Amino acid sequence: MLALEMNIQITGELLLNESLARYTTWRVGGPAERLYKPAGLQDLSVFLQQLPSDEPLFWLGLGSNLLVRDGGIRGTVIATQGALTDMTMTAHGKVRIEAGVTCAKAARFCSAQSLAGAEFLAGIPGTMGGAVAMNAGAFGGETWDLVDKVETIDRHGHIHERKPTEFSVGYRSVKAERDEWFVAVHLQLQPVSVEQQDSIRKNIKALLAQRNEKQPIGQPSCGSVFRNPAGGYAAQMIEKAGLKGLCEGGACVSEKHANFIINTGTASARDIETLINKVADAVYQAQGVRLQREVRIVGVDKPAGVAAD
């Protein structure tokens, strides 16, 4: 076992054949061959230094915007949620937030520091690591609009500081030449007065209320399944195609928001992936637009006829 080959002192938790359904917001997914929950950034660095150079690595935050297939993930999964959770003020108008912090907590922290500009993060159902990795956005704001610099870690456990100019950032897309992963982000925000701070809090509450009204909060989903095409909205196109309520096994297109697919309680990852493809095909046939997935699909499938865990 990998754990026995690692002659080191790690303080995190290493689990074998751990079901990833517990770690994804869709509540589906096969097992991780190995899953590591680091005790902190330095512990993560030590852990990575001991891994074989060819060990497959996958980084997992809140598990939203993600579909793990029923066969699971080979190699090692690094689970950052609840692990990399430090948030600090670093300078006037600047904050450092680690990758495992949920976006909602980050928004509230910035508000408490009398900083404006991060309110939209409250509407993103994920962690800051995931938000940075995909340039997540909500209510007209995008993560990289706020980024001053980022901290990354490579597979050898070395930590680096990178500038935004070292990345190619687009709509729900961030590309880099290096094989590194985000572990912290430094945001540049606008300081406001104590009086204005109350307005920020009210804005966050209003955005959350708007999200709760329009989205199927409380039901297992991944957030938005498809990206909005140029000049349009995926949800409107799916609804126009008459697909609200369409089901595949235990997976159904939400009646509340057509760009959400919910797990009614019995869905497998295969059900969800099949439904995603059916929706994309139906919209293309009806309107001539091929919707692009926003959700990432990872892992291996189980052979036909083998039940999901």
DSSP string, 281-295: HHHHHHHS--PPB-S
Domain boundary (13, 44, 79) is at 79
Contact 217, 123 (CB under 8 A): no
Residue 271 located in a structural domain: yes
Given a cut of 90, is residue 210 above it in pLDDT? Answer: no
66 and 95 fall within a common domain: no
Average pLDDT of the residues in 87-96:
96
Tell me the CATH number at 157: 3.30.465.10
Residue 226 located in a structural domain: no
Q: State how far the Cα of 277 lies from the Cα of 226, in Å rounded to an integer.
A: 11
11 and 55 fall within a common domain: yes
152 and 181 fall within a common domain: yes
72 and 91 fall within a common domain: no
Task: Determine how β-strand 180-188 pairs with β-strand 147-154.
Answer: antiparallel
Given a cut of 70, is residue 77 above it in pLDDT? Answer: yes
104 and 135 fall within a common domain: yes
Given a cut of 70, is residue 54 above it in pLDDT? Answer: yes
Report helix, strand or coil for 95: strand
Please report the pLDDT score of residue 8 as a whole number.
63
Q: Classify the C-alpha dihedral 104-105-106-108 as positive or negative.
A: positive
Average pLDDT of the residues in 176-196:
90
Q: How many domains does the chain have?
A: 3
Residues tagged active-site: 172, 224, 294
Average pLDDT of the residues in 171-194:
91
Please report the pLDDT score of residue 146 as a whole number.
97
Average pLDDT of the residues in 186-199:
87
Given a cut of 80, is residue 1 above it in pLDDT? Answer: no
122 and 206 fall within a common domain: yes
Average pLDDT of the residues in 213-220:
84
Residue 302 located in a structural domain: no
186 and 253 fall within a common domain: no
Residue 166 located in a structural domain: yes
Between these two residues, 208 and 287, which has the higher pLDDT value? 287
Residue 228 located in a structural domain: no
Tell me the CATH number at 30: 3.30.43.10
Please report the pLDDT score of residue 309 as a whole number.
54
65 and 32 fall within a common domain: yes
Domain boundary (22, 51, 79) is at 79
Q: Which domain holds residue 103?
A: 87-213
Q: State how far the Cα of 66 lies from the Cα of 52, in Å rounded to an integer.
A: 26
Q: Classify the C-alpha dihedral 227-259-144-182 as positive or negative.
A: negative
Please report the pLDDT score of residue 4 as a whole number.
38
Give the phi and the psi of residue 158 in degrees, each rounded to 5.
-85, 135
Please report the pLDDT score of residue 82 as a whole number.
87
Q: pLDDT tens digits, residue range 115-165? A: 999 999 998 889 999 999 999 988 889 999 999 999 999 999 999 999 999
Residue 309 located in a structural domain: no
110 and 168 fall within a common domain: yes
Tell me the CATH number at 278: 3.90.78.10
203 and 265 fall within a common domain: no
124 and 201 fall within a common domain: yes
Residue 86 neighbours by CB under 8 Å, 6+ apart = 41, 96, 97, 98, 101, 184
pLDDT band at 307 (very low <50, low <70, confident <90, very high): low
Residue 221 located in a structural domain: no
Residue 304 located in a structural domain: no
Computed over every residue of the chain, the mean pLDDT equals 91
Q: Which tokens go with 55?
A: 């060990």
Domain boundary (43, 60, 79) is at 79
93 and 208 fall within a common domain: yes
Average pLDDT of the residues in 8-28:
93
pTM: 0.86
